[in-house]
């Protein structure tokens, strides 16, 4: 199967005029999951694979091999996964095709630092290919703490497992070029990692160097689950499959752009990670900057991963660095205090288990940034994200400028609102356009009205794949559209590093940090920006 065909098939999923992908056309493969006894495997990956199986979107022949430190045989592993489903989805329909699905699941005990165990894994994979007539196509999914990525990446290389016919001797991390494509119908080896990709620019480069010691760029799939959301994918469709938006999508007509992703959840059980990350690394370095790139990028010449990535990277490159002395004017940091969410009292961040009592880790950030290019010069982009806020919602607001001259102004005083386009990502998956219309009554009576396209209602009975289903499928298809490319990762860090450095290396961080009550719209100082959205 050529890469072009892969992309074509990927696009056949889910879009209005598309047919569903037929798994029967996919090459057989083995999905190897490291961290098999962990939460991510049982909660997300196995249900995602089962759902793909149910919709006939897995290849007719496939193996799923779990690897982890626990000693188990294949049957015990299947039973432990079934027990988890039973507990977490009681009464759900997972049981009816479980036996058929789970017959393809296997287990290999593996110590992550033990070369001998990787050789045993290689032996099992060869045996499965032989006995079950699967092609040696392998996707290695690292559902383990990021600290283990370099170790596992290196060991896979040393055990000869990184070498599909597409290469695998590693490379220098340049984007996959046309000349480097995998020959059609050759076995492949791919590695899938989730964010965080490093802690800062240096560590991201170091991690990448290790991964590239074993894998080529086109073999590496860096997940950002926001990119797999239908509504996020729809941003490019809306912008570039319609002629009416693009002519207005620039500094001449747009006043500002806002991107907000707020959550009601607190840090939960993740304080160990979150204390070293904070909201800027957890949400901005990845999800928020991806939403920004999709909103701000130029139209690529073709809807293909490499072209789309190229355009996104240009946005990251054009981000105007923050002047150190203007930090406070462009950035508000917050940390949630105790408060009430949905009528329930919740503790503040400092009272959460595992959080240092004097922690200055931000759980909220509001940032005003500029993109230095022809299209966006001078248009502020407000990026806002926080935990324990009043609502869980993600949306992008395109605020248009006011009409240049209003003949209605005298009668309506200042009540006439400028047009606004809202791309709802969650919970309302919709596109809304606000405009002015005449309301019945006196001649000059205008009122703002809204035209809505509700994505969920339109979707009807079609199966909609969730983010994990999408990324697993795309990894099998070899389509990088929904993944980060290393040059983008590095540019995102390059933009954020000085900000993080300024916030963390002196009192600036503590000075910028404001406490906000859980369940509120964030710190007072950011309120005027939040209200813009
Ligand atoms: C994750 C962050 O990447 O995204 C979490 O690590 C955050 O802290 C989550 O809660 C938000 O994702 P979503 O899809 O619920 O908006």
8 Å CB contact between 287 and 224: yes
- Nearest CA to 467 out of 412, 425, 516 is that of 425
Q: What is the Cβ-side half-sphere exposure of residue 369, based on CA atoms within 13 angstroms?
A: 26
What is the pTM assigned to this prediction? 0.89
Tell me the pLDDT tens digit for each residue of 313-368.
Answer: 999 999 999 887 888 899 999 999 999 999 999 999 999 999 999 999 999 999 99
- How much distance in Å is there from the Cα of 64 to the middle of ligand 1? 26
**Residue bearing the bigger pLDDT, 438 or 359:** 359
For helices 486-505 and 201-214, the axis angle rounded to 10 degrees is 150
- How much distance in Å is there from the Cα of 92 to the middle of ligand 1? 25
Tell me the pLDDT tens digit for each residue of 441-483.
Answer: 766 677 888 999 887 666 554 556 888 999 999 999 999 999 9
SS3 518: coil
- Which atom of ligand 1 approaches the CA of 277 most closely? 6
Beta strands in 138-291 (DSSP E): 138-142, 189-194, 220-223, 254-262
Kindly tell me if the per-residue pLDDT of 20 is higher than 60: no
Tell me the pLDDT tens digit for each residue of 232-272.
Answer: 989 999 999 999 999 999 999 999 999 999 999 999 988 99
Pocket lining: 263 vs ligand 1, CB cutoff 6 Å: yes
Lowest mean pLDDT among 37-41, 65-69, 153-157, 463-467: 463-467
SS3 119: helix
How far is Cα 439 from Cα 445, in angstroms, rounded to an integer? 6
Confidence of residue 168 (pLDDT cuts 50, 70, 90): very low
- Which atom of ligand 1 approaches the CA of 270 most closely? 8
Kindly tell me if the per-residue pLDDT of 75 is higher than 90: yes
How many other CB atoms sit within 10 Å of the CB of residue 390? 18
Kindly tell me if the per-residue pLDDT of 291 is higher than 80: yes
Pocket lining: 3 vs ligand 1, CB cutoff 6 Å: no
């Amino acid at each position: 199967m050529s890469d072009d065909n892969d992309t074509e098939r990927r696009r056949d999923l889910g879009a209005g005029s598309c047919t569903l992908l037929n798994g029967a056309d996919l090459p057989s493969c083995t999905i190897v999951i490291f961290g098999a006894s962990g939460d991510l495997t049982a909660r997300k990956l196995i249900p995602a694979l089962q759902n793909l199986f149910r919709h006939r979107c897995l290849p007719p022949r496939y193996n799923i091999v779990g690897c982890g430190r626990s000693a188990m045989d294949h049957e015990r592993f299947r039973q432990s996964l079934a027990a988890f489903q039973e507990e977490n989805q009681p009464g759900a329909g997972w049981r009816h095709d479980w036996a058929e699905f789970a017959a393809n699941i296997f287990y290999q005990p593996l110590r992550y630092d033990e070369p001998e165990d990787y050789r045993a894994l290689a032996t099992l994979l060869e045996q499965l290919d032989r006995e079950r007539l699967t092609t040696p196509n392998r996707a290695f999914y690292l559902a383990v703490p990021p600290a283990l990525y370099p170790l596992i990446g290196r060991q896979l290389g040393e055990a000869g497992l990184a070498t599909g016919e597409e290469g695998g001797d590693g490379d220098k991390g340049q984007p996959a070029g046309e000349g480097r494509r995998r020959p059609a119908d050759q076995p492949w080896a791919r590695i899938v990692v989730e964010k965080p990709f490093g802690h800062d620019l240096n560590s991201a480069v170091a991690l990448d160097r290790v991964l590239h010691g074993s894998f080529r760029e086109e073999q590496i799939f860096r997940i950002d689950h926001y990119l797999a959301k239908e509504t996020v994918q729809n941003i490019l469709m809306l912008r570039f499959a319609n002629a009416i938006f693009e002519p207005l999508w620039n500094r001449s007509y747009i006043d500002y752009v806002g991107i907000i992703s707020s959550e009601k959840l607190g840090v939960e059980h993740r304080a160990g990670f979150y204390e070293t990350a904070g909201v800027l690394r957890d949400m901005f370095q990845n999800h928020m900057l991806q939403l920004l790139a999709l909103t701000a990028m130029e139209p690529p010449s073709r809807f293909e991963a490499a072209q789309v990535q190229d355009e996104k990277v240009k946005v990251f490159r054009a981000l105007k660095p923050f002047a150190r002395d203007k930090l406070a004017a462009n950035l508000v940091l917050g940390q949630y205090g105790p408060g009430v969410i949905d009528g329930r009292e919740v503790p503040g961040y400092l009272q959460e288990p595992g959080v240092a009592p004097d922690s200055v880790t931000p759980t909220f950030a509001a940032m005003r940034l500029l993109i230095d290019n022809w299209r966006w010069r001078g248009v502020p982009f407000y990026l806002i994200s926080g935990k324990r806020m009043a609502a869980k919602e993600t949306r992008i607001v395109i605020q248009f400028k006011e009409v240049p001259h209003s003949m209605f102004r005298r009668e309506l005083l200042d009540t006439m609102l400028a047009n606004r386009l809202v791309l709802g990502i969650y919970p309302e998956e919709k596109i809304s356009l606000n405009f002015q219309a005449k309301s019945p009554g006196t001649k000059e009576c205008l009122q703002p009205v809204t035209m809505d396209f509700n994505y969920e209602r339109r979707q009807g009975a079609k199966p909609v794949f969730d983010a994990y289903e999408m990324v697993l499928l795309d990894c099998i298809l070899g389509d990088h559209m929904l993944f980060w490319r290393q040059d983008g990762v590095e540019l995102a860090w390059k933009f954020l590093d000085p900000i993080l450095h300024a916030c963390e290396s002196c009192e600036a961080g503590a000075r910028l940090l404001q406490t906000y009550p859980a369940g509120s719209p964030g710190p007072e100082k950011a309120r005027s920006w939040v209200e813009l959205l």
